[in-house]
């Protein structure tokens, strides 16, 4: 019964996050419609869509702020310490920070290389539309939102709240897999969902081994920031052989760094009880 309960609550949290993002888009549409009506007689659908697209990063960020604020208030009312539950107060060593950064660089190289070499994006053109909608903004705004603030929000929810909640009903590995699946589904498209699941599972183990959410936050920021920077440097064509070498190097770096963190892992049996 406890498994059903924690799984149900975890799914509801993800659904709530998606609903809030949809509501933010609807509210933004209403706001921009009223704004356009003040400047012109009729509201052009194209102008409205352009305004929403231009501000979609801010809309997403506001959605995350609202989501985390609601969760924080609920936990506060139920006398739960959110900071303690998500292990955000646990420190990590400078050595582990360095390993996390190197590991994130390797992970980014591996995933981007595999996507590029497989040419899977040709089968899912909607992925390119999503990426274009994200990167076609001011570079510094994209770096701030996509590279820093949104990754922090996602880590708080998925590797912080959901992972620890799921550990109340499942083994560590199953909890990590479930939160990874939920993280992938939340991206709402196949390619992003696929690598989000891999990253989510990867980050889940890192949090467990280091005992701190700061580790996955650092890694997520590095992975996303690298992607933003690469997307804004014309993505030079390296050729298949060079891309293959880069991908293999990324995989090797990721495996070695994960191995180091695993060997130096902390005690993982302690579970935060959400229901005490």
CA 129 to chain centroid, in Å, comes to 19
3-class secondary structure per residue, 155-206: HHHHHHHHHHHHCCCCCHHHHHHHHHHHHHHCCCCHHHHHHHHHHHHHHHHH
Q: What is the pLDDT along the chain (276 residues), one digit of tens a residue?
A: 588 899 999 999 999 999 999 999 999 988 888 887 777 666 677 777 888 888 889 999 999 999 999 999 988 888 888 877 787 767 888 999 999 999 999 999 999 888 888 888 778 877 777 777 777 788 899 999 999 999 999 999 999 999 999 998 899 999 999 999 999 999 888 888 898 999 999 999 999 999 899 999 999 999 999 989 888 775 556 777 888 899 999 999 999 999 999 988 865 544 444 443
State residue 233's pLDDT score. Answer: 75
pTM: 0.89
Q: What angle do CA 52, 53, 59 make, to 5 degrees?
A: 60
State residue 125's pLDDT score. Answer: 78
Cα–Cα distance between 103 and 219 in angstroms, integer?
Answer: 7
Record the tokens describing residue 199, joined without a space: 């990253």
**What are the start-end ranges of the H helices in 40-93?**
45-54, 56-77, 82-85
State residue 11's pLDDT score. Answer: 94
Record the tokens describing residue 65, joined without a space: 């702020």
Domain range annotation of the chain: 2-263
Query: Would you say 226 and 146 are in contact if contact means Cβ atoms under 8 Å apart?
Result: no
Residue 178, classified by CB atoms within 10 Å of its CB into exposed (0-12), middle (13-18) or buried (19+), is buried
Token look-up 């309960």 returns 5
Q: What are the distances in angstroms from CA 13 to CA 64, 158, 232, 275? A: 12, 10, 33, 16
State residue 249's pLDDT score. Answer: 95
Q: What is the dihedral of CA 44, 48, 49, 54, to 10 degrees?
A: 140
């Amino acid at each position: 019964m406890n498994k059903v309960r924690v799984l149900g609550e975890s799914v509801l949290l993800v659904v709530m996050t998606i609903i809030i993002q949809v509501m933010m888009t609807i509210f933004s549409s209403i706001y921009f419609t009223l704004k356009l009506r003040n400047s012109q007689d009729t509201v052009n659908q194209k102008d409205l869509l352009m305004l929403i697209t231009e501000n979609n990063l801010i809309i997403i960020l506001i959605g995350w702020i609202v989501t985390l604020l609601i969760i924080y208030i609920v936990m506060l009312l139920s006398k739960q310490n959110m900071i303690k539950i998500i292990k955000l107060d646990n420190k990590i060593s400078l050595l582990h920070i360095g390993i996390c950064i190197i590991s994130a660089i390797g992970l980014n190289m591996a995933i981007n290389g595999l996507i590029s070499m497989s040419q899977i994006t040709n089968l899912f053109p909607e992925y390119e539309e999503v990426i274009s909608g994200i990167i076609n903004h001011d570079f510094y705004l994209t770096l701030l939102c996509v590279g820093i603030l949104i990754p922090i929000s996602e880590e708080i929810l998925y590797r912080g709240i959901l992972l620890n909640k799921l550990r109340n009903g499942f083994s560590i590995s199953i909890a990590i897999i479930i939160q990874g699946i939920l993280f992938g589904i939340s991206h709402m498209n196949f390619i992003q969902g696929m690598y989000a699941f891999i990253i989510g599972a990867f980050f889940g183990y890192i949090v467990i081994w280091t005992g701190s959410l700061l580790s996955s936050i650092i890694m997520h920021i590095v992975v996303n920031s690298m992607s933003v920077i690469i997307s804004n440097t014309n993505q030079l064509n390296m050729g298949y052989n060079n891309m293959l070498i880069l991908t293999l190097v990324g995989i090797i770096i990721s495996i070695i760094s994960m191995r180091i963190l695993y060997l130096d892992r902390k005690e993982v049996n302690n579970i935060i009880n959400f229901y005490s």
